Chains A and B, each alone.
Chain A
Amino acid sequence: AQTVTQSQPEMSVQEAETVTLSCTYDTSESDYYLFWYKQPPSRQMILVIRQEAYKQQNATENRFSVNFQKAAKSFSLKISDSQLGDAAMYFCAYRSPTMYSGGGADGLTFGKGTHLIIQP
């Protein structure tokens, strides 16, 4: 079974600074998908960014970018120019491409999350 580890329960950053959230995962599969989700106090789960394992290029979405190191099984999220609205729980998640027919979970496997605090 795949596991996802977020080793930082809480991170704090000054507004406008850059912060990096860490995520490592364990899998024997060669193809998979990785995600970062944001959960603000409203509890809504919001997709921040996603990465296909077969793509070597790191995904970028505006101020959010990832550092995907496949060999190291590492998938960190960098938030540039941090804003107060970025304060939230951030979850790293893994999804296998294989699914259906009698077994195996086809859902996302989540890490425990990192609580990001933005200091004004």
Chain B
Amino acid sequence: DSGVTQTPKHLITATGQRVTLRCSPRSGDLSVYWYQQSLDQGLQFLIQYYNGEERAKGNILERFSAQQFPDLHSELNLSSLELGDSALYFCASSVGRNSYGYTFGSGTRLTVV
């Protein structure tokens, strides 16, 4: 157990729907990162939050959004889902804003049908 908890582990939904993925960072970690792993795009950085504030954006679609709550857990919201959004979504956490060591969760497998 890495200490980073992601729920649910698996999610199957239809095109056009909206889903929410949840991440609880490791105790004491203030930064949360979201990554997408797909067969065609590989592993891509989506977005980072630090202590409740958005810190950096990567290749995140406008249909996707995220937030980090006061208790530091984070949610990734995916809307108007398309078949191509099927992927493994990872959350990672680190202690500070500039920490270079991340701890990854076990991921949420999203299947859009």
Q: Report the Cα distance A96→B27, complex, angstroms.
A: 25
Inter-subunit contact A100/B102 (CB<8 Å):
no
**Chain A, residue nearest B55 (CB):** A100
Q: Count A interface residues, CB 8 Å.
A: 26
Inter-subunit contact A44/B106 (CB<8 Å):
yes
Is the CB of A16 closer than 8 A to any CB of chain B?
A: no
Is the CB of B28 closer than 8 A to any CB of chain A?
A: no
The one of A43, A50, A108, A113 in contact with B106, judged by C-beta atoms closer than 8 angstroms, is: A43
The number of A-B residue pairs with CB atoms under 8 Å apart is 65
B2 shortest CB reach to chain A, Å: 7
**B:6-64 near A, CB below 8 Å:** 33, 35, 42-46, 48, 55-59
Q: When A99-B97, A105-B45, A107-B48 are in contact, do A45 and B56 touch as well, CB less than 8 Å? A: no
The one of B45, B102, B106 in contact with A42, judged by C-beta atoms closer than 8 angstroms, is: B106
Inter-subunit contact B55/A106 (CB<8 Å):
yes
**Chain B, residue nearest A46 (CB):** B104
B4 shortest CB reach to chain A, Å: 10
Inter-subunit contact B56/A106 (CB<8 Å):
yes
Is the CB of A78 closer than 8 A to any CB of chain B?
A: no
Which residue of A37, A43, A99, A107 has the most chain B CB atoms within 10 A of its CB atom? A107
Inter-subunit contact B57/A50 (CB<8 Å):
no
Chain B at the A interface: SS class: strand
The one of A104, A108, A113 in contact with B102, judged by C-beta atoms closer than 8 angstroms, is: A108
For this complex, 30 residue pairs linking A to B, each with C-beta atoms less than 8 Å apart, are A37-B104, A43-B109, A44-B104, A44-B106, A44-B107, A45-B104, A47-B101, A50-B101, A95-B100, A97-B100, A99-B55, A99-B56, A99-B97, A99-B98, A100-B55, A100-B97, A103-B57, A105-B45, A105-B59, A106-B48, A106-B55, A107-B35, A107-B56, A108-B33, A108-B102, A110-B42, A110-B44, A111-B42, A112-B42, A113-B42
Q: Which 5 A-B pairs have the closest CB atoms?
A: A107-B45, A106-B56, A45-B104, A110-B43, A105-B58
Binding site for A on B (CB under 8 A): 2, 33, 35, 42-46, 48, 55-59, 88, 90, 92, 97-98, 100-104, 106-107, 109
